[in-house]
Structure 1
Amino acid sequence: MTPENPTAAENFTKIADDAVTSYCAAYPDEATFLGEHSHDDRLGDPSTAAQERRQAELTTLITSLDELPAGEFDTADAVDRDILRTAAQSELHGLAEIDEAGWNPMRHNPGQALYGLLSREFAPLPERLANLAGRLRGVPDYLEAARARLGDMPRIHVETAIGQLEGTLALIESEVPAALAQAGSDLDLSEEISRAATAVRTHQDWLRGELPNAHRSARLGAELFARKLELILATPWQPDKLLEQAYRDLDRIEAELTELVGRTTGSANVDRDAIAAEYARLAADVPTSDTILQLCREALAETTEFVRQHELVTLLDDPVDVIEMPEIDRGVAVAYCVAVGALETAPLATQFAVSPTPKDWSEERVRSFYREYNNHMLHNLTIHEAMPGHVEQLSHAHRYSGSNPVRGVFGSGSFIEGWATYAEELMAARGYRSDISTAAAAAVRMQQLKMQLRAVLNTIMDISFHAGDLDERGAMELMTVRGYQEEGEAAGKWRRVQLTSTQLCTYFVGYVEVRELVTDLRRAHPDWSDRQLHDEILDYGSPPVRYLRQLLGLPQAG
């Protein structure tokens, strides 16, 4: 076709490229992590005017996508069009209906935008520091605009935001000067550092002053939650049906635990007390803040060799840095994965971040944390976060090259988490650590089932709180009794239930959808090996499972 008469596919490619460009401009901190560095010297705009401009952009985008003659696309472009449209609808719903920027002060923290320039070596440090100077200069105006934007807020969000800003202050006043010293730069950022730190303290003081009037409910409400779930997870699951499925899986996992503990202990009468006692026994084998990093490195080597020997998936052997989690991120989970951004061109390693406990924690809280994240759990977490979970899946996704960047930029969180949760089950089913001993394999299987329980309970609590009336007592009982969680872990999750919505469903929704996908694909190709089957699933980037089924030529589930 001539430029004057482009095809539908060519029109879509331009629309998709423009959509990614406008997304990066609207969210410069996200752009940095994605690998688009044109906006590294500035922060986002939290103002109402900026939000209204973004809503207009999204409305125009959705109209443009709807006007395309979908019948003229190949399957890949048709899927990407639907992914982009769903992502635009989701963002628009978040801005126009939920309006979180107007009531959640946690959304207005410049810390991650600053941290993104310090933590990834995509450019020489002096160049990143020059851009950091621009972001530091923007902090006072950014926080002033945030205060003008915020109205009635939930108390728990205000309290959490105040605490998170302490991490931002530490980054500004300690990590930035350390980076300047490391770079040996002549760049003088003393004034920018001082003004940014003062602005953060001013914002904290303002938030403290708002605490007596922070009466907004943290519950999203049934209607908003259902629509957000549908769009964020790109799933047909409705909350009531998902809740029913979660309770069925809760019973299934408890039955599997009962059988495993009976086999492990030789007991014919296994109840919840017996299961709790077995978890307590395993929880006595704990790491320390001095050993946890090395234990995860060793677990990564062991899981990688197991995947290689059992040919579970094609190993890409991309570089992985096992790093100590920065202080600002500690206290929520023991590990996370930071993949190379979809738009990044620099040869970066994937980061597998592992957390010692925060320095200000009490001795009892530290003990509780490490009982939950004991040595056996570290193996299961390494499977989830690294091999063959996030690290390997995202390495495969990074190699996907379509006609547009949509699938990389708007990857599905539920597919990503679902694959990693499925990977835990896969490794346990294939006998991970059985070469060490039957007891070692059973210990990892116990932790894998505990993590499945956690995913199920996360979903039950997410729905029951935001679309129901779940209270703290009910949530704590679910986690500590039916989930066998440590008190400290459960208390932290109760806070997370109140602070987020739908994200806690991603693990279970993704797992159920990936599990059904694997079953159907194996049924369609009974002669395929594990590696063939898993490579096929991972070869299309990170689309929602409903669209992956379309790409694989499988009917929709249910």
Structure 2
Amino acid sequence: MRKILPLLLATTVAIASCSSPGGQHTAVASDDDSLQIRFSQFSEHFIESLWIQEPEWATQQGYHKWDSILTVPDNASRSKTLLFAGKNLDSLKAFKVAQLTPSQQTDYYLIHDYLEGRKWNIEQQQDYTWNPSAYNVTGLLAFMLSENYAPLSQRLQYCYKRMLQVPAYYAAAKVQLRNPVPELTALAIDQNSGGLSILEKDFTDSVKLCILPAEEKDKMLAAAKAASAAVKDYITFLKGIKTTPESRSFRLGKALYEAKFKYDIQSSFTAQQIFDSAVARKRYLHQEMAKLSKSLWPKYFGTQAMPADTLALIGRMIDTLSTQHVKPAEFQSAIEKQIPELIAFIKAKNLLYIDSTKPLVIRKEPAYMAGVAGASISAPGPYDKGGNTYYNVGSLEGWPAAKAESYLREYNHYILQILDIHEAIPGHYTQLVYANRSPSLVKTIFGNGAMIEGWAVYTEQMMLENGYGNNEPEMWLMWYKWHLRTVCNTILDYSVHVNNMSKEEALHLLTKEAFQQQAEAEGKWKRVSVTSVQLTSYFTGYKEIYDLREAIRQKEGSKFNLRIFHEKFLSYGSAPVKYISKLMLAN
């Protein structure tokens, strides 16, 4: 377990001492030094207060002092959040940003942006009134049961205390929902239904196996039963909601979208600017893919006539290469086999230090996580350095043969390698390990999604630039196709939520212009209908990281070292790229 907070005061500033004529020693500290000390003290107090305000988030970050508390999502809890945000924003006004250290300036902006974002969410977005999937306790309880941060008996005690509050939690949820989005209602039903096994099996099995007094076990099992009943009641409540022409649309609209992009992505660009950049990038990728497809055509089709239509030519070549894929039952094992190969390549090319002491566990995606993405990383919080990092892999078990074939053609021999680079090494897994080593707890806690996703996308290109895949044109073509998905994520998300793109238009974009399989495109439509803005984080972060690398390469010239750039960049934690850029370019 990591200590609760680093000794910020010992490392942030040194106060010099000098001798006076009388032999007495007088401490000399500038106004800037004093301000920096006070900001360190403020940051430390803020984080402690944050965990009191957000006990569930604290648990997932590895801070377990408040593990027995479950916040009931009612008007009173939101009022407390607004009061907390207001007081701390007032406290920030006491600091002159220019007088803080560069690292502290970043922390200042991260705290400020978080608090402003919380206020905006409650006062403007108000998704607690229309997003039923925001209410789900099973993922939190699953985390507590699966992570070995304390003896099982202690974790069960904390789960039990939280379970006692579950009926009140879901009762409040039903009161808050006024005009729920139909697509989010369906997602909430699926996810809460999937999470019932946490209460009815995982927790109860753990209680029965644990050495506890019989009376205590009975209380725990009774609490689990009551919590399960509350979840089922919520599911029944959601199923009873009728969809009408007046039901709220899942589309955010331009004003809400731009504001959410500002607070969630924290980019130096606006959402409109990123959308325009993505459209231009799509044109460039189509040009490069056409060149490669023409060069590969004789190898795979001999003297057959080449399609005159460029997109048809690219699509034909991609379809041919996509037939190379693993069998459904071998999907997870193929991922497990490739991870050591990626590590060996990075070491051979001296691209980045990989910490072999941090475990990466590849597992079947838990049921409570189903319905959004087919592969993801779950990392331990900053207080739980020894915790497992999980690579969650969606299962194809029970899929119809045609659907499984479509999915595997999407994640074919080439794309599966790129997926592993993105999700694991040197993508998400590696970046999150570095983030947990950051000396700034603020940067680690307020991880920026665009930086995290952008790094994963950037590493795909970086690996190929350094010879991964032996510079085979097939690998480059398929990466362009994969990268086109990142670009089209941005185009799709903005077009759907701001420009009212229809499902038919979205599927055409994804299948005809981004060359995705039908199953992948259908899944992406579902995702864009239950999330917003997040899909833009991939391209936004990638663009900002790539631009930063090239700016530093130009600045340093022949002295530029890729490994040094990577490790320096990652050392700042998961801060927004615009703040990391400011620090790195200043240095």
Alignment partners' CA distance in 2, 1:153 and 1:448: 39
1:190–1:420: structure 2 CA closer, same or farther, 3 Å change rule? same
Question: In the alignment, which residue of structure 2 is the partner of 1:41?
Answer: 68
**Shift of residue 375 of structure 1?**
3.1
The question of 1:414 aligning with 2:450 is answered: yes
**Shift of residue 55 of structure 1?**
1.0
1:447–1:18: structure 2 CA closer, same or farther, 3 Å change rule? farther
Please tell me the residue identity of whatever aligns with 2:172: A
Alignment partners' CA distance in 2, 1:257 and 1:425: 15
Per-residue CA distance 1:45-65 (angstroms, 9 max, x = gap): 210121111012111111211
Give SS of 2:148's match. coil
Give SS of 2:163's match. helix
**Shift of residue 316 of structure 1?**
2.2
The question of 1:206 aligning with 2:232 is answered: no
Query: 1:33, 1:341 within 8 Å by CA — same for their partners in 2?
Result: yes
Question: In the alignment, which residue of structure 1 is the partner of 2:478?
Answer: 447
Alignment partners' CA distance in 2, 1:223 and 1:329: 30
Based on CA coordinates, which of the two structures has the bigger radius of gyration?
2
Task: Select between 130-139 and 18-27 the one with higher mean Cα deviation.
Answer: 18-27
Alignment partners' CA distance in 2, 1:181 and 1:374: 43
Question: In the alignment, which residue of structure 2 is the partner of 1:253?
Answer: 285
Question: In the alignment, which residue of structure 1 is the partner of 2:329?
Answer: 290
Question: In the alignment, which residue of structure 2 is the partner of 1:385?
Answer: 423
Query: 1:396, 1:539 within 8 Å by CA — same for their partners in 2?
Result: yes
Query: 1:336, 1:352 within 8 Å by CA — same for their partners in 2?
Result: yes
Question: In the alignment, which residue of structure 2 is the partner of 1:337?
Answer: 377
**Shift of residue 358 of structure 1?**
5.4
Alignment partners' CA distance in 2, 1:218 and 1:423: 32
Please tell me the residue identity of whatever aligns with 1:369: Y
| Residue correspondence of structure 1 range 268-283 to structure 2 within 5 A | 271-283=310-322
Alignment partners' CA distance in 1, 2:506 and 2:267: 25
Alignment partners' CA distance in 2, 1:166 and 1:126: 26
Alignment partners' CA distance in 1, 2:46 and 2:126: 21
Give SS of 1:399's match. coil
Please tell me the residue identity of whatever aligns with 1:209: G
1:358–1:195: structure 2 CA closer, same or farther, 3 Å change rule? farther
Instruction: Pick from 163, 177, 182 the counterpart of residue 155 of structure 1.
Output: 182
Query: 1:300, 1:387 within 8 Å by CA — same for their partners in 2?
Result: yes
Instruction: Pick from 523, 536, 542 the counterpart of residue 492 of structure 1.
Output: 523
Alignment partners' CA distance in 2, 1:357 and 1:431: 32
Alignment partners' CA distance in 2, 1:453 and 1:329: 26
Instruction: Pick from 185, 200, 204 the counterpart of residue 173 of structure 1.
Output: 200
Give SS of 2:351's match. coil
Question: In the alignment, which residue of structure 1 is the partner of 2:137?
Answer: 110
The unaligned stretches of length 5 or more in structure 2 are 1-14, 16-26, 300-305
The question of 1:124 aligning with 2:151 is answered: yes
Question: In the alignment, which residue of structure 2 is the partner of 1:241?
Answer: 273
The question of 1:502 aligning with 2:533 is answered: yes
**Shift of residue 148 of structure 1?**
0.9
**Shift of residue 161 of structure 1?**
0.9
Instruction: Pick from 365, 374, 389 the counterpart of residue 325 of structure 1.
Output: 365
Question: In the alignment, which residue of structure 1 is the partner of 2:412?
Answer: 374
Alignment partners' CA distance in 1, 2:319 and 2:473: 14
Q: TM-score, normalised by structure 1?
A: 0.92
Give SS of 1:15's match. helix
Query: 1:299, 1:378 within 8 Å by CA — same for their partners in 2?
Result: no
**Shift of residue 182 of structure 1?**
4.9
Per-residue CA distance 1:437-482 (angstroms, 9 max, x = gap): x6xx444433322221111111112112222221111111111111
| Residue correspondence of structure 1 range 468-547 to structure 2 within 5 A | 468-526=499-557, 527-547=559-579
**Shift of residue 67 of structure 1?**
2.2
**Shift of residue 385 of structure 1?**
0.9
Per-residue CA distance 1:419-452 (angstroms, 9 max, x = gap): 1100001112222132xxx6xx444433322221
Alignment partners' CA distance in 2, 1:32 and 1:374: 37
**Shift of residue 537 of structure 1?**
1.3
| Residue correspondence of structure 1 range 23-62 to structure 2 within 5 A | 23-62=50-89
Please tell me the residue identity of whatever aligns with 1:82: Y
1:448–1:181: structure 2 CA closer, same or farther, 3 Å change rule? farther
Please tell me the residue identity of whatever aligns with 1:388: P
- What's the % identity of the aligned pairs? 27
Please tell me the residue identity of whatever aligns with 1:367: E
Task: Select between 146-155 and 521-530 the one with higher mean Cα deviation.
Answer: 521-530
Question: In the alignment, which residue of structure 1 is the partner of 2:388?
Answer: 349
Question: In the alignment, which residue of structure 2 is the partner of 1:10?
Answer: 37
Please tell me the residue identity of whatever aligns with 2:515: Y
Alignment partners' CA distance in 1, 2:166 and 2:408: 36
Aligned residues between the structures: 545
Question: In the alignment, which residue of structure 2 is the partner of 1:63?
Answer: 90
The unaligned stretches of length 5 or more in structure 1 are none
Give SS of 2:68's match. coil
Task: Select between 442-451 and 216-225 the one with higher mean Cα deviation.
Answer: 442-451
Alignment partners' CA distance in 2, 1:66 and 1:260: 55
Per-residue CA distance 1:376-417 (angstroms, 9 max, x = gap): 222111100111111111222221113xx2101001110111
Give SS of 1:143's match. helix
Task: Select between 234-243 and 472-481 the one with higher mean Cα deviation.
Answer: 234-243
Give SS of 1:152's match. coil
